Amino acid sequence: MSLLLLLLTSSHFTLSLSLDTITPTQPLNDGQTLLSSSHTFQLGFFPSNNHRYVGIWYHNLPDHTIVWVANRDNPLIGVNGTFSITRSGNLVLLDDKSNVVWSTTSQATKTTAHNKPMARLLDNGNLVLLDGSWQSFDYPTDTMLPEMKLGWDRKTGLNRFITSWRSPDDPSTGDKLFKLDLHGLPQIMLYDKVENRTDILYRTGPWNGLRFSGSPEISSFGVFALQFTLTPNEAYYTYKVITNGTQLARLVVTPTGVVQWLVWMDKPKKWNQVWYAPKDPCSTYNKCGPNGVCNTSDINQCECLKGFEPKVAQDWKMRDWSDGCVRRTRVCGGGGEGFVY
């Protein structure tokens, strides 16, 4: 998510620390940032929607693309926040009155002289507690980075999925979700939360051993190596960049409900979209309802299978095809059904 004007004009992106770690005696104050060891990622405070947040973004990219937000639903008011780690081993975000605004809930190990709590920003964009009890990759926001897992840890019940920002300038939890569905053959679904229900907007199709069957073009890019793992303890999808070890890439779900796969292009200095979904109206899940067929070349888009008619004719006239089609004539007895060639 880009915060072009806000970030570039903020006076609080001033002091970058050479360190990539946070300790109880070395917290991160508003106005300071951490850098990963290769200077690929940066962590600090940023402004948005008249509030302040702690997040991770790419270092030295002109658009300051945010890839993770700690307190997306608990914004800070004011500019005197502190991001630290307690001696019990949890990350905490404090406001100017030392009230806890956000914290991790790790099962940290007991602190000893040889085991001091510490958090580190890694070169892949993952913020980790060094005792292994918590990592930001397990709690993504709207972005999936290479090496991040999308899916389930069945032993702990942890479900990792990405959720859109509320709007381009509001990082709070939005309505669009991209997550792994384990009902039947595993596939990834794009959902839209509407009031008290969750509608499916798009699905990748089941994993067939090489790719998700409904998105065969992904495997032809030659840019990413895809992996799907299904064991009694885990079910997750991940990817890595194979063309260039330094190539920056991200998968993001937008507030408008588009899943985008982007790679950074150094020469034009911009993100290049290499894949997106849904691609057209017929990519939308259940566009034409039961027994309906979608056709992008037809102005009406949906039509019924041979022998069927719209279930609610008036709705079809209004271009609402969601109820689909029903048989024109009820089939009774045997021999009344077959295939049309």
Domain of 91, CATH number, reads 2.90.10.10
- Give the residue-averaged pLDDT of 215-237: 83
- Give the residue-averaged pLDDT of 128-150: 96
DSSP-assigned beta bridge partners for residue 264: 271
User: At which of 235, 260, 280 does a domain end?
Assistant: 280
Residues 184 and 126 in one domain: no
Q: What is the pLDDT of residue 11?
A: 38
Q: What is the pLDDT of residue 9?
A: 38
Say yes or no to pLDDT of 116 above 90. no
Residues 133 and 145 in one domain: no
Q: Which amino acid is at 204?
A: T
Residues 164 and 237 in one domain: yes
Instruction: Give yes or no for a contact between 241 and 146, defined as CB atoms under 8 angstroms apart.
Output: yes
Residues 238 and 256 in one domain: yes
Residues 103 and 220 in one domain: no
Predicted TM-score (pTM) of the model is: 0.85
Instruction: Give yes or no for a contact between 303 and 332, defined as CB atoms under 8 angstroms apart.
Output: no
Model confidence pLDDT, tens digit, residues 146-182: 999 999 999 999 999 999 999 999 999 999 999 999 9
Q: Which of 124-133, 167-176, 190-199, 236-245 is least confident?
A: 236-245
Residues 41 and 83 in one domain: yes
Q: Which of 52-61, 65-74, 201-210, 249-258 is least confident?
A: 201-210
Helix, strand and coil percent figures for the chain, each rounded to 5: 5, 45, 50
Say yes or no to pLDDT of 76 above 90. yes
- Residues 6+ positions from 60 with CB-CB distance below 8 Å: 39
Q: Which domain holds residue 292?
A: 286-341
Residues 232 and 146 in one domain: yes
Residues 113 and 181 in one domain: no
The dihedral sign for the CA sequence 127, 128, 134, 138: positive
- Give the residue-averaged pLDDT of 273-281: 88
- Give the residue-averaged pLDDT of 233-259: 90
Total domain count for the chain? 3
- Give the residue-averaged pLDDT of 285-301: 84
Q: What is the pLDDT of residue 63?
A: 82
